[in-house]
Every structure is written in structure tokens, then in C-alpha cells.
């Protein structure tokens, strides 16, 4: 089983590149299940129901979030109605929505998805380590493969969660910092770990935000309005390969694709799809060519015989009386591979 996890989709640039990349990656890499963190998908802050539905249309199966999940007030009505949109499971009891779910691959295999949030330099929620054990146990009662998005600031906390769930979860990937780390690995008991999947969005920015506004705040210490940047879109993601019988990860691959990379990938997959449709059109073109050539060589009557053979209405090993004087042979369908059929003697 191959799972694609897309790092924080940030604003419209992130949505645009995700829309282009995800279907192409599904096709190229044989992806069975897609998860995406979407907490910054609405102009860099929060998520709306309309945008969530659009992202599901890209081929995403489950969406995760983090500390920005409530930034758009309309999500409070939407999230209880959409089981594919998760918020961190360690929010206090009574928070809308859910923190985990069971999804299904394109072949119907179950996949558990758990969303958690860290507490170091973050809003202090319930203990994510205790919640992780409880939720993973519940998910594994229904699915061997369990993927965890741990939305946290501190590298140490995210690595600790990976070791905490080694042998229990299939994969643990951090999110939140918008900076992809290069420490992907398989832990001893079969859990794939990456400290942070990174950001799918505008990388000519300061973690997604317009450079001038964010830099000005550092330089002057004055408040500034943060808007989503627009340039340098990239897709950050990972692909985890897992054994669905055991739930153990067997491989983890990190993706960091520019807009040009994604465009080339999408065009390549589109070309592959067109080629797969060519045999039918080629046969049709071949028949038309046969009819035209026969008409030119033999006239209408003999052309009719050629047309019947091209359409399969005459037995392939019978000589046409009208062509007997020309010594022409009728070839069986195997002649296309270089084998000539001998005409039946009279």
C-alpha cells in the first residue's frame, strides 16, 4: 500500500499546485490513499467548507489540520458534518469534529488516520502522548495501517512521538513549521518517521507569508498584516509504502517539487494516458487507409472485397475470386506479427 501525505497546503498557490500534482502523483506512483494537511488552505489561515470540498476533489481522501483549524468561523458548522476533515484529537472534550477516522483505499482496504497537536511553544492541549496510545489502539482494531499527523513546533517533541509510536503506527509525520526536514527514516519496529513534511505553497516567502510584511515585523517589532505570498510554489510531501497485512512501513520517500517539476509530471502523465488510448484510434485509421489504397489499386469492386476483409467479414484464409488473377494473397490476422497465412487450395 502506498500513501501520499501532502504537507501544509498554504493559500491559493498551495491549492493550485496540489490540484495539479496530486492526480499526476496518484497515476505515476500508484498511490492508494492521499492525506493532506489543510489548516492554512484559506488565504494562509484556516479552512472553509467550500475549500475543503474542492481539495477532496483533487483526490485527497482525508484532511488534517492543527492550531489554525478554527481561524475561519464557518468551519464550526462544517467540521461536524465532514468526517474526512480532522482536527487534533487532543483538543478538550466538547470541541467540534473528530481527531481520527478510518478511510478506504481505492481497493477498499482500511487506513486509520490520526491528527494530534504538540504542546511545546503551542496552545497547551491535552497530553498528545497519552491520547496517541488510546487513539492508535482504537484505530488498529479496524485497520492495520495507521498514519499520524503530529502538528507541533518542537523537533524534539515530534521525534519523541515517532519513538513513542514505533511498532504501533505505520507512519508519524510532523507538520506546522512549513520547513521540510531531511531526516526521513524507518524506526526499528517498522514506523516511518519524518520530523516535518514541509509546506505546499509559495516558497518565495517567509513560511508562506509575504516577505515584506513578515520581515518588517522582525526588523521594526511593529505589528503588520500577514498576507499569503504568491511566488515560488512548491509541493512538499512524502510517500510511505506499507505492508497492509502487518501495518509496518517498508519505505519512505520525501518529495520536494517545484511548479516546473509538477507541470512536467502532469504533462508526462497526460501523454501516457493519451498513448494508452491510441491502439483503438490506430486500428480505425488503419482500416480507413486500407479502404482508400484498395480503391486506388483495384477499383470499386475489388476495393469492396478489401473493405470486407479489413472489417473482418470475410474468412482470412479465402482467396477473393475477383483478385485471383492478380495472385494477391489474403493474410490472416497473424500476418501483422510477420507470419504469412497460406491461402486454401481449390
Please tell me the distance from the alpha carbon of residue 214 to that of residue 227, in angstroms, as a whole number.
9
| Sequence ranges of the domains in the chain | 2-275, 278-337
Bridge-based pairing of strands 145-151 and 110-117 is parallel
Q: Which CATH fold would you assign to the domain 2-275?
A: Purple Acid Phosphatase; chain A, domain 2 (3.60.21)
CA–CA separation, 207 vs 276, rounded Å? Answer: 41
Each residue's pLDDT tens digit, 9-20: 999 999 999 999
Active-site amino acid positions:
68
260-293: per-residue pLDDT in tens? Answer: 999 999 999 999 888 877 665 444 444 444 444 5
Residues 6+ apart with CB under 8 A from 124: none
Beta pairing class for 171-175 and 192-194: parallel
Predicted confidence (pLDDT) per residue in 307-325, tens digit: 555 455 554 444 444 433 3
Question: Residues 305, 326: contact at Cβ < 8 Å?
Answer: no
The whole-chain average pLDDT of the chain stands at 86
Tens of pLDDT, residue by residue over 135-166, are 999 999 999 999 999 999 999 999 999 999 99
User: Residue 5, Cα to own-chain centre: how many angstroms?
Assistant: 8
CB-based contact 317:344 (threshold 8 Å)? yes
The string of DSSP codes covering 200-263 is: EEE-SSBTTB-HHHHHHHHHH-------B--SSEEEEEEEEEE-TTT--EEEEEEEEEEHHHHH
Amino acid at each position: 500500500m502506498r500513501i501520499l501525505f501532502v504537507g501544509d497546503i498554504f493559500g491559493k498557490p498551495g491549492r493550485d499546485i496540489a490540484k495539479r500534482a496530486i492526480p499526476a502523483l496518484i497515476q505515476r506512483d500508484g498511490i492508494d490513499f492521499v492525506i493532506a494537511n489543510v489548516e492554512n488552505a484559506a488565504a494562509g489561515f484556516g479552512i472553509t467548507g467550500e475549500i475543503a470540498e474542492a481539495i477532496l476533489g483533487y483526490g485527497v481522501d482525508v484532511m488534517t489540520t492543527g492550531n489554525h483549524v478554527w481561524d475561519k468561523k464557518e468551519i464550526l458548522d462544517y467540521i461536524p458534518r465532514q468526517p474526512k476533515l480532522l482536527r487534533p484529537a487532543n483538543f478538550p472534550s466538547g470541541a467540534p469534529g473528530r481527531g481520527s477516522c478510518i478511510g478506504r483505499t481505492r481497493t477498499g482496504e482500511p487506513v486509520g488516520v490520526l491528527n494530534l497537536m504538540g504542546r511545546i511553544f503551542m496552545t497547551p492541549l491535552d497530553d498528545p502522548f497519552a491520547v496517541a496510545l488510546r487513539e492508535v489502539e482504537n484505530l488498529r482494531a479496524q485497520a492495520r495501517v495507521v498514519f499520524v499527523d503530529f502538528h507541533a513546533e518542537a523537533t524534539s517533541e515530534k521525534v519523541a512521538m515517532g519513538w513513542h509510536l514505533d511498532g504501533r503506527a505505520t507512519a508519524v509525520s510532523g507538520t506546522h513549521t512549513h520547513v521540510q526536514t531531511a531526516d526521513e527514516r524507518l524506526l526499528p519496529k517498522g514506523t516511518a518517521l519524518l520530523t516535518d513534511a514541509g509546506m505546499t505553497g509559495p516558497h518565495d516567502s517567509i513560511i508562506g507569508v509575504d516577505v515584506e510584511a513578515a520581515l518588517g515585523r522582525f526588523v521594526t517589532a511593529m505589528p503588520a498584516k500577514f498576507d499569503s505570498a504568491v511566488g515560488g510554489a512548491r509541493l512538499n510531501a512524502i510517500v510511505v509504502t506499507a505492508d497492509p497485512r502487518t501495518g509496518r512501513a517498508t519505505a519512505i520517500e520525501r518529495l520536494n517539487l517545484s511548479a516546473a517539476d509538477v507541470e512536467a509530471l502532469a504533462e508526462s502523465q497526460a501523454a501516457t494516458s493519451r498513448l494508452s488510448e491510441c491502439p483503438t484510434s490506430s486500428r480505425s485509421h488503419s482500416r480507413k487507409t486500407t479502404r482508400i489504397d484498395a480503391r486506388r489499386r483495384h477499383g470499386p469492386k475489388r476495393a469492396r472485397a478489401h473493405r470486407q476483409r479489413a472489417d473482418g467479414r470475410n474468412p482470412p484464409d479465402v482467396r477473393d475470386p475477383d483478385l485471383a488473377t492478380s495472385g494477391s494473397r489474403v493474410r490472416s490476422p497473424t500476418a501483422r506479427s510477420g507470419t504469412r497465412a497460406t491461402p486454401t487450395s481449390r
